[in-house]
């Protein structure tokens, strides 16, 4: 029997969260091959969701955590992971819809890929104009194949599976990334500590992109926050050598596609708007920089740029992860 904790941060999404949990309750092998603990972290103004979750008591162990203060996704996940009972953790957004086999597929992937510390699957849109089309991975997501595994540079929300110990060893999500950028940051820290990321291409979930409310959608200037996150990762990881950051250079193409000739103007204005925030948070930024792992000097967006370094990391990863793999799968395999 495999034990897994599932964490779901949510904000003003009662019906979406109920659907998310309902689909999890129908997971293949639940209470036969798989025991599932659900931690719902709700930062909505009211706790009306708590009573509605009682309908799942026969199938799932649910731990409902509520705060009336808006809690950003990174902090919500950090708190939920801390309270999770199991080594193996699945994290998903409240607008993600699992198929019956999704949870079991993620678990099987981790069992069959002992060099992987954190993984995700494919996501398709379940609503809106893009319904049925692929959401993640995008054409910008680079994949490096080795050891019969599709390693990926970054995992950015949606859903994922990882080992609690690895997550805590790299200090979880960095809460200085308020509304975006935390996925890039935590991904590079996993890699820098020798914990590889991968994608399970045969695992599928759906993204209800039309779901109401979101802490991110309440941000008035998304462009400025996006650029601020780039400034932060560039500073934290000493991005100064263009030859070590070739893909960081190319990453502007995604933004250029959206903003065209106005891109440079937006970047300059975003820098100007960030001065006050950086001044007010400088002490925390310095603390954050001092805590990054330095086992492997990977740069944001450029984990696969140095082939020697990535191969050294992957070669050593199985031994590094073996104690965590044994803790989850050793007695169950």
Rounded CA separation 30/175 (Å): 33
Is residue 190 domain-shared with residue 245, that is, in the same domain?
no
Is residue 192 domain-shared with residue 259, that is, in the same domain?
no
Is residue 261 domain-shared with residue 149, that is, in the same domain?
no
Q: What pTM was computed for the model?
A: 0.95
Confidence of residue 239 (pLDDT cuts 50, 70, 90): very high
Taking alpha carbons only, the member of 41, 17, 157 closest to residue 97 is 17
Contact predicate 98/6, CB 8 Å? no
Is residue 228 domain-shared with residue 282, that is, in the same domain?
yes
pLDDT tens for 142-196 read 999 999 999 999 999 899 999 999 999 999 999 999 878 999 999 999 999 999 9
Is residue 67 domain-shared with residue 194, that is, in the same domain?
yes
DSSP string for 4-40: EEEEEEESS-HHHHHHHHHHHHT-TTBTTTEEEEEEE
The residues with which 2 forms a beta bridge, in sequence order, are 34
pLDDT at 105: 98
18-22, 63-67, 69-73: segment of lowest average pLDDT: 69-73
Rounded CA separation 184/156 (Å): 7
pLDDT at 220: 66
pLDDT at 73: 86
**Domain housing 278:** 218-291
Q: Number of folded domains in the chain?
A: 2
Rounded CA separation 282/289 (Å): 11
> Strands 118-125, 159-163: parallel, antiparallel or unpaired by DSSP?
antiparallel
Rounded CA separation 103/209 (Å): 20
User: Could you tell me the CA-to-CA distances from 308 to 193, 304, 314 in Å, in that order?
Assistant: 16, 9, 10
C-alpha neighbours within 13 Å on the C-beta side of residue 21:
30
* Burial of 175 from C-beta contacts in 10 A (0-12 / 13-18 / 19+): middle
Give domain status of residue 302, yes or no: no
């Amino acid at each position: 029997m495999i034990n897994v904790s599932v964490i779901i941060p949510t904000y003003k999404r009662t019906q979406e969260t109920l659907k998310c949990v309902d689909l999890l309750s129908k997971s293949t092998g639940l209470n036969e091959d798989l025991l599932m603990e659900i931690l719902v972290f709700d930062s909505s103004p009211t706790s009306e969701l708590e009573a509605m979750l009682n309908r799942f008591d026969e199938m799932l162990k649910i731990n409902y955590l509520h705060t009336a203060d808006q809690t950003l996704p990174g902090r919500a996940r950090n708190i939920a992971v801390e309270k999770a009972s199991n080594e193996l953790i699945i994290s998903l957004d409240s607008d993600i819809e699992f198929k019956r086999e999704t949870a079991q597929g993620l678990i099987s992937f981790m069992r069959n890929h002992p060099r992987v510390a954190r993984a995700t699957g494919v996501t398709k849109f379940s609503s809106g104009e893009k319904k049925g089309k692929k959401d993640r991975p995008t054409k910008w997501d680079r994949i490096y194949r080795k050891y019969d595994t599709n390693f990926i540079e970054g995992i950015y929300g949606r859903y994922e599976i990882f080992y609690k110990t690895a997550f805590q060893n790299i200090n979880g999500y960095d809460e200085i990334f308020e509304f975006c950028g935390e996925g890039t940051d935590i991904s590079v820290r996993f890699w820098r500590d020798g914990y590889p990321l991968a994608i399970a291409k045969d695992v599928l979930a759906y993204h209800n992109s039309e779901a109401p409310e979101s802490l991110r959608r309440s941000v008035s200037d998304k462009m400025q926050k996006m650029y601020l996150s780039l400034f932060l990762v560039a500073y934290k990881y000493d991005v100064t050598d263009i030859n070590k950051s070739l893909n960081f250079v190319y990453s502007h193409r995604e933004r250029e596609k959206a903003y065209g000739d106005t891109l440079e103007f937006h970047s300059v204005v975003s820098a100007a708007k960030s001065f006050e925030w950086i001044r007010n948070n400088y002490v925390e930024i310095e603390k954050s920089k001092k805590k990054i792992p330095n086992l492997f000097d990977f740069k944001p967006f450029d984990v696969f740029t140095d082939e020697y370094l990535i191969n050294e990391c992957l070669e050593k990863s199985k031994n590094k992860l073996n104690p965590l793999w044994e803790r989850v799968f050793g007695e169950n395999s």
